[in-house]
């Protein structure tokens, strides 16, 4: 019996919409990462990008549990001495709410070229509108 390896032309890509309103950030990110990787499909292959496109709406209304709103810190370093910038999750939500979900999902994808390719299929929007109506995305219920 031979193992079937899907070719690039045989991979079917669908579009999914996930509403992030009142959904816990980590649970949402893990579900989105699974879809981006293609683990929900029977044709999943670890060394190929078989995943689907994901649109996340209402990113500014995602929920953080516990005291993460005050205690969680996003760090970024320029590479120069004294170039460390730290931003709390509360300030990040106020200024760049999309980055909350993007960072959480990126942390759950593979750290290689394939992971970057999967990450490009993620579209996050702070509000409830998105410009991907032509792709006819299917609503996906976020498991809370």
pLDDT in tens, 107-136: 999 999 999 999 999 999 999 999 999 999
Using the predicted structure, report yes or no on whether residue 2 has a pLDDT greater than 80: yes
Average pLDDT over residues 28-47: 95
Using the predicted structure, report yes or no on whether residue 143 has a pLDDT greater than 90: no
Domains of the chain with CATH codes: 18-139 (3.90.1180.10)
Q: What is the pLDDT of residue 144?
A: 58
Average pLDDT over residues 1-8: 85
Buried-exposed string 36-66: b where 16+ CB fall within 10 A, e elsewhere: bbbeebeeeeeebbbbbbbbbbbbbbbbbee
Name the pLDDT band for 142 (thresholds 50, 70, 90).
confident
pLDDT in tens, 60-70: 999 999 999 99
The residue among 128, 127, 106, 126 whose CA lies nearest residue 118 is 106
Name the pLDDT band for 4 (thresholds 50, 70, 90).
confident
Taking the whole predicted model, whether its pTM rises above 0.85 is answered as: yes
Find the largest Cα–Cα distance for the chain: 59
Q: What is the pLDDT of residue 76?
A: 95
Using the predicted structure, report yes or no on whether residue 1 has a pLDDT greater than 90: no
């Amino acid at each position: 019996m031979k193992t079937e390896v899907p070719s690039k032309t045989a991979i079917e890509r669908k579009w999914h919409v996930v509403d992030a309103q009142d959904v816990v950030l980590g649970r949402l990110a893990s579900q989105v990462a699974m879809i981006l990787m293609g683990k929900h499909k029977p044709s999943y292959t670890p060394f190929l990008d078989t995943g689907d496109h994901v649109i996340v709406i209402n990113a500014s209304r995602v929920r953080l549990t516990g005291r993460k709103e005050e205690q969680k810190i996003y760090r970024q370093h320029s590479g120069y001495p004294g170039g460390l910038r730290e931003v709390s999750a509360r300030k990040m939500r106020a200024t760049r709410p999309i980055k909350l979900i993007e960072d959480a999902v990126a942390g759950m994808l593979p750290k290689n070229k394939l992971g970057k390719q999967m990450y490009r299929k993620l579209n996050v929007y702070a509000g409830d509108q998105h410009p991907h109506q032509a792709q006819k995305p299917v609503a996906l219920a976020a498991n809370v």
